[in-house]
Amino acid sequence: MTDTPLLSVENLEVRYGAATALRGANLTVQRGQLVAVIGNNGAGKTSLMRGITGLVRPSGGRVLFKGEEVTRLPAHAKVARGLAMVPEGRLIFPDQTVEDNLILGAYTHGGLKNAQAKRTLERALALFPRLRERLRQPAGSMSGGEQQMLAIARGLMAEPDLLVIDELSLGLAPRVVEQLIGVLRDLNGQGLTILLVEQLASYALAIADHAYVVAQGRTVRDGPSGLIARDPEVMETFLGKKKAA
Amino acid sequence: MTTALQYTLSGLAIGGIYALVALGFHIMWSAAKAVNFAHGDTLMIGAVLAVMGIDAGLPPPLACLLAILAGALFGVVLERFAVRPFIGTNASIGWMLTTIAVGIMAESLATMQFGGFSRPLPSPGVAGAISILGAGVYPQELVIPAVALLAMAGLHAMQRHTLVGRAMQAVAHNRQAAALMGINVDRIVMFSFGLAALFGAGAGVLVAPVIQASASIGVLLGLKGFAVAIIGGITSGPGVVLAGLAFGVMEKFVEGYVSTAAREIVGFSAMILVLVAFPQGLFGRREIFKV
Amino acid sequence: MVAPKYYRRLFLIVPLAFTIPGSALAQQEPCIGNSAAITGPAAFTGQAIRMGAEIALEEINAKGGVLGKPLRFVQYDDAGTPPRGVDNTRRVALADKCVVILGGYHSTVSVAQVEPVHAIGIPFVGVLAANTQAIENGRNPNYMFRVSAKDKWVARFLVEQAAKVSKTGKIAFFYENTGWGNGAVPDVKAATAKAGKELVATETFNWNDQDMTAQAIRARDSGADVALFWALDREGNQLVRSMDKVGYKPTIIGAWGIAGNLGELAGPLANGVQVVQTYSFMGDLDHKGQALWQKIQTKYGLKDPSQIKMGSGIANTYDAVHIVAQAIEKAGAYDWKKVREALYQVRYEGLVAKYDPAFDSSDPERQDAILPSEYKLTVWSDGKLLPIAQTPYGRTN
Q: What is the ipTM of this complex?
A: 0.91
Residue B175 resides in a domain: no
| Chains B and A are touching, with contact defined as 3 or more CB–CB pairs separated by less than 8 Å | yes
| Interatomic CA distance for residues B217 and B42, integer angstroms | 10
Question: Could you give the residue ranges of the DSSP H alpha helices within chain C?
Answer: 5-19, 43-62, 82-90, 107-120, 132-135, 151-165, 179-194, 213-222, 233-245, 262-266, 287-300, 311-331, 336-343
Asked whether the beta carbons of C200 and C224 are under 8 A apart, the reply is yes
Cβ–Cβ contact B129 with C under 8 A: yes
Q: Which chain C residues are Cβ-neighbours of B260 within 8 angstroms?
A: 177, 204-206, 209, 214-215
Does this model's pTM top 0.90? no
* Structural contact between residues B186 and B84, judged by C-beta atoms closer than 8 angstroms: yes
Determine the Cα–Cα distance for residues A106 and B175; give it in Å rounded to an integer: 17
**C258 and C165 within one domain:** yes
Q: CA C254 to CA C66: how far, in whole Å?
A: 39
Strands A218-224 and A210-215: antiparallel
Nearest C-alpha in C relative to B219: C208
Within 8 A of B167 by CB-CB distance, chain A residues are 104, 107
**Alpha-carbon gap, residue C300 to C287, rounded angstroms:** 20
Q: What is the identity of the amino acid at C82?
A: P
Question: SS3 for C293?
Answer: helix
- What confidence tens digit (pLDDT) does each residue in C215-243 have? 898 899 999 999 999 999 889 999 999 99
Q: Are residues C166 and C224 in the same domain?
A: yes
Mean pLDDT of the region B168-180: 93
- pLDDT value at position C189? 95
Selected residue with higher pLDDT from C109 and B214? C109
Residue C311: inside a domain, yes or no? yes
Confidence at residue A241, expressed as pLDDT on a 0 to 100 scale: 59
Rounded to an integer, the average pLDDT of B10-17 is 92
Pair (C241, C384) in one structural domain: yes
For the segment B222-278, what is each residue's pLDDT rounded down to a tens digit?
999 999 999 999 989 999 999 999 999 999 899 888 877 788 899 889 889 998 998
Mean pLDDT of A67-72: 94
Cα–Cα distance between B55 and B40 in angstroms, integer? 23
Does the residue C382 lie in any domain? yes
Residue C20's CB is within 10 A of a number of other CB atoms, namely 10
Residue type, position C295, single letter: K
Pairing of strands C274-277, C376-381: antiparallel
Tell me, yes or no, if B180 comes closer than 8 A to chain A by beta carbon.
yes
Counting the structural domains of chain B, the total is: 1
Which helix (H) or strand (E) covers residue B61, if one does?
helix B60-78
Going from the C-alpha of C186 to that of each of B190, C154, C171, C192, C351, the distances in angstroms are 56, 12, 14, 10, 31
The residue type found at C304 is: D
Contact A135, A97 (CB under 8 A): yes
Q: How many C-alpha atoms does C161 have within 13 Å on its Cβ side?
A: 29
Provide the CATH number for the domain around residue B92.
Answer: 1.10.3470
Rounded Cα–Cα distance for residues B8 and C269 (Å): 24
pLDDT, residue B255, reads 84
Confidence label for C351 from pLDDT (cuts 50, 70 and 90): very high
Domain contains C287: no
For residue B93, being part of any structural domain is answered with: yes
d(CA C150, CA A85): 79
Residue range C298-302: mean pLDDT, rounded: 93
- Judge whether B111 is closer than 8 Å to chain C, CB to CB: yes
Q: How far is CA C169 from the centre of its chain?
A: 29
Q: Which of A24-28, B30-34, C12-16, C52-56 has the lowest mean pLDDT?
A: C12-16
State in Å, rounded, how far the first CA of chain A is from the last one: 45
Q: Greatest CA separation found in chain A?
A: 62
Domain count along chain C = 2
Query: A80 CB near a chain B CB, below 8 Å?
Result: yes
DSSP H or E stretch at residue C376: strand C376-381
Q: Chain C: which residues have CB within 8 Å of chain B?
A: 40-43, 177, 204-206, 208-211, 213-215, 217, 233-234, 237-238, 241, 244-247, 260-261, 264-267
Q: What does residue B281 show for φ and ψ, rounded to 5 degrees?
A: 90, 170
Q: Which of B155, B156, B150, B192 has its CA nearest to residue B171?
A: B192
A226-242 tens-digit pLDDT: 888 888 888 777 766 55
Closest residue to B210, CB basis, from C210, C233, C260: C210
Same domain, C22 and C60: yes
Determine what percent of chain A is predicted with pLDDT higher than 70. Answer: 96
CB contact (8 A) between residue C244 and residue B136: yes
Tell me, yes or no, whether B137 lies in a domain: yes
C107 with C27, same domain? Answer: yes
Pairing label, strands C98-102, C144-146: unpaired
Residue B163 domain-assigned (yes or no):
no
CATH number of the domain where residue C253 is located? 3.40.50.2300
**pLDDT grade, residue A154 (50/70/90)?**
very high
Pick C208's closest partner by Cβ from B115, B116, B220: B220
Q: What is the extent of the structural domain holding B85?
A: 2-156+182-277
Cβ pair C209, C238 in contact under 8 A: yes
Tell me what the mean pLDDT of segment C382-392 comes to.
88
A108 in B contact zone (CB under 8 Å): yes
**Can you say whether the dihedral through the CA atoms of C132, C133, C134, C139 is positive or negative?**
positive
Q: What is the residue range of C127's domain?
A: 5-149+294-359
Residue B263 forms contact with A (CB below 8 Å): no
Q: What is the mean pLDDT of chain C?
A: 90
**Spatial distance between the Cα atoms of C360 and B101, rounded to a whole number of angstroms:** 53
All domains in chain A, ordered by first residue: 1-80+195-245 (3.40.50.300)
- B92 domain-assigned: yes
Q: Are residues C140 and C163 in the same domain?
A: no
- CB contact under 8 Å between C214 and B210, yes or no, is no
Q: Are residues C251 and C382 in the same domain?
A: yes
- Asked if the model's pLDDT at residue C48 lies above 70, the reply is yes
A11-15, A194-198, B133-137, range with the lowest pLDDT: B133-137
Tell me: do C139 and C187 sit in the same domain. Answer: no
Taking an 8 Å cut-off on Cβ atoms, the answer to whether C42 and B211 are in contact is no
Q: How far is CA A43 from the centre of its chain?
A: 17
Could you say which of A54, A91, A110 has the minimum Cβ distance to residue B174? A91
| Cα dihedral C280, C284, C289, C291 in deg (nearest 10) | 140
Which residues of chain C does B117 touch, with a Cβ-Cβ cutoff of 8 Å?
41, 233-234, 260-261
Element (H, E) at B264: helix B260-277
